[in-house]
Chain A
Amino acid sequence: MKKTVLTVDDSRTMRDMLLMALEDAGYTVIQAVDGVDGLETLAAKGADVVITDINMPRMDGFGFIEGMRADPNHRATPVLVLTTESDAEKKARARAAGATGWIVKPFDPVKLVDAVRRVAA
């Protein structure tokens, strides 16, 4: 069965990039533009894997992940964080919020799909 990936990013460019890479790899992709939209989309449509940006208006990635983890339906859904900052602090914070892993921007489509596969049950 095709797996569904929810991408949450306020940048249209980044959403398009993710869409292209993930659809090429055979995933179904749904999109949201910020954390609030992300939680709503997740509640409405569900997803097997979530990829989220950190810096977003309205609700940032950390808040989004915390919101997900507080929801019994999505506390075990893998979340990958998109980050340009590869420093340990960002990762630690993402992990503390409940992120499953991370993808460093700019991402290589192969590595992206690799990371998604790695966490997708």
Chain B
Amino acid sequence: MDAFEAIKATFFQECDELLAELESKLMLLEQGQTDLETINAVFRAVHSVKGGAGAFGLEALVRFAHVFETLMDELRAGRKPCDPVTIKTLLRASDVLADHIQAAQGLAPPVDEDRSAGLVHELELLTHGGEAPPVVEEDEDDFGFTPMAFDSPLDGPLDGPLAPLGEPEPASEAPSGWRVVFKPHGRMYGSANETGLLLREVGRLGPVTVSLDESTVPNLDLLVAEDGYLTWTLDLAADVDEKAVREVFDFVEADCDLTITPLGGAPETAPAFEDEPAAVLPASDELDIAALLAKAAGAPAEPAPSPVAAAPAEPAPVAAPIAPAAVAAPAVSAPAAAAPQTPPAQAAPVAPAPVTIRVDLDRVDRLINVVGELVIQQAMLSQRVLESGLARSSGIALGLEDLELLTREIQDSVMAIRAQPVKSVFQRMPRLVREVADMVSKQVRLVTAGEDTEVDKTVVERLAEPITHMLRNAIDHGLETPEERVAAGKSAEGTVRLAALHRSGRIVIEIADDGKGINRERVKKIAIDKGLIAPDAALTDEQIDNLIFLPGFSTASVVSDISGRGVGMDVVRRSIQALGGRISISSIPGKGSTFTLSLPLTLAVLDGMVVSAADQILIAPLPAIVESLTPQESDLHYVGGIDPVIRFRDRFLPLIDVAMTMGFRATPVVPSEGVAVVVETEGGQQAALLFDAIQGQRQVVIKSLETNYQQVEGVAAATILGDGRVALILDVDVLVTDMRRKSPRPDFKLAS
């Protein structure tokens, strides 16, 4: 990949960041935060996209960004109001801008011409406020140069024959040279322009004869070092375009008196530079300015007011440089006064970009794997030391403890490398919500929270699809139409909340709507109609809600192209499970539904309690454990004579015999001979798991069971123990909610 392509890749990467910035700032605007800094940030984002796109010749993108930018400029200047209508248009424009960027990358087909043109029209309408937009948008005139009339007549004497000012001299005359009369103002030096350099530049065009009129240089006592008194006359003996000559003075034309007239092949000037070879400037970079100045100025006492020479030598007039310039030029003072309008550096709202390096993902993954092995090795070592019967206070044991801490720290640091905020996924959602809302004619407000919650990169990437699907569902099925909402006494605008948070070592994603909730009657009827459940099945509300996760279930009477073809929630659940996650639902009729996704933070490590059940070593995730106790016969009761419950803090919790539930043995153990571990699910449900014994507590490296074997119900993953044995990591939630329900009543139809 050559350098140019590499920069282009950087540009598209930057575009993603800019779009994210754009989106978040537009959301702020939508929430009413229409301050100048926010508008400016939007402007900058669009502006940067346009700037880069221009550099790579991405025409369509530049054109669209330009129109967008123009409107932002109007808003920024306060010439147009930043009202809700405008913001809505800006939001849609940002979507089209994103599409243009995608298209420019070749990731998507070119943007639909009508759609783009339609928005361009809307933007222009807002920019020009009602009136018809100008017939043709003037495109960027590159290296913009416009001939300008000089209002200030030349003061001071001019030697040599000078063509009359009023005579416009087109280049077609093909003169044999140009006469440039140039009188710098003091201001010119204030902007670090330099007569000597300008002369050098003219010299690059061809041989030049320079003469200097220093007659206006005042006496020493009146001389202002920073003012301009000298008038230079340059005779350029080269057949070049007037434009080329004028371009040399492009930067300074407002800060000097300048006339450029054709020499018209005046013969008398021609011999002049033969006579004075010293004054003929060679067309090269090197030029002895000092010598030239000395010669031309006839060595007056003062050096020419050249800051290059003056500034380092005399620090005295330091305070003066800019101020007199601004006063001296009333024509420019108005924009100058406007300059401070953009607040410079207040409270640093944007931190400078953190220093980053880009690393190949493979390298990070290799590191993570090795650290995983390190953890296992360290556990093995600990176990060996323990087995050797060394005292806990021995040097080796203490050293091992330190090693364990270090290992843990290494592991955390390595995992942090892969951790990414879920922001990248969340940021794509506002657009989706807008589009879906438009399609189904509902008013939807998306509220997001916890965008900065970090989670493993793989998890972030695979979150996008299920979240997309569930948001669509929430809008399409969950929310009512504005009329229905108003009739139900709610605001016409529905709210969908997308939140991410860390909870007991997992990341939880909540998608909540304030819609009508799940219609349980209908769900149950559909499930019966489709033969998914027995007609007489007695189901709890929760169980009915969960029916929508069954394959082939669809509640939409009309299959819309928004929520898919009714395979939605089933697919969502499977993709979440593939990540070692779970999905649950809670719904209140008339109030709305909440879908909760819970996923492991990393696919790498876990703190667990090592337990045994029927000769099997199992790991119970520590975050889920509340307490462990030895069941007393007096605390045990049997519901219906079969299902054991245990009294725990004045409540009765179901007691689950794990070995039996998992199918390790067929007959239940006597509860009082085992150990009960009280666990809490993510839904806050408590239960007691019955094991044979607790062996200890340790950090384990998670090895996916799905990738190496297949998914096993009630098992989240596997790990390798210190002694090299494989142990299964329990999925407490499934164990408590689903399997308990199933195992005592194997005939129950609700298979999950």
* Chain A contact residues, CB within 8 Å of chain B: 10-14, 16-17, 20, 33-37, 55-60, 62-63, 66-67, 69-70, 72, 75-79, 84, 86-89, 92-93, 95-102, 104-107, 111, 117-121
Contact = CB atoms under 8 A, between A and B. Distances in A.
Contact of A111 (B55, B143, B248): B143
B197 A104 contact: no
A21 B333 CA distance: 35
A89 B332 CA distance: 9
B191 A104 contact: no
A69 to B, nearest CB: 5
B192 A78 contact: yes
A97 to B, nearest CB: 6
Contacts, number: 167
Contacts of A96: 326, 329, 332-333, 335-336, 339
Contacts of A34: 350, 352
A57 B344 contact: no
Contacts of A120: 197
B254 A92 contact: yes
A14 B51 contact: yes
Contact of B44 (A10, A95, A121): A10
A121 B194 contact: yes
Contact of A118 (B11, B197, B335, B338): B197
B629 interface: no
A36 B349 CA distance: 12
A17 B336 CA distance: 30
Contacts of A76: 189, 192, 307-308, 311
A86 B194 CA distance: 23
A13 B11 contact: yes
A59 B335 contact: no
Interface string B518-549: 00000000000000000000000000000000
B51 A93 contact: no
B359 interface: no
B52 A79 contact: no
Interface in B31-51: 40-41, 43-44, 47-48, 50-51
A106 B41 contact: no
The 7 A-B residue pairs whose C-beta atoms are closest, nearest first, are A86-B144, A101-B251, A106-B54, A63-B344, A96-B336, A13-B11, A76-B307
A35 B339 CA distance: 14
A121 B197 contact: yes
Given A11-B48, A86-B140, A104-B144, A17 B350 contact: no
Interface stretch (B292-300, B314-322, B406-414, B658-666): B314-322
A10 to B, nearest CB: 7
Contact of B338 (A59, A69, A70, A93): A93
9 contacts: A12-B14, A63-B345, A66-B339, A78-B194, A84-B47, A92-B332, A95-B255, A107-B55, A121-B308
B41 A98 contact: no
Contacts of A10: 44, 48
Contact of B335 (A36, A93, A117): A93
A11 B14 contact: yes
A57 B348 CA distance: 9
Nearest to A12: B14
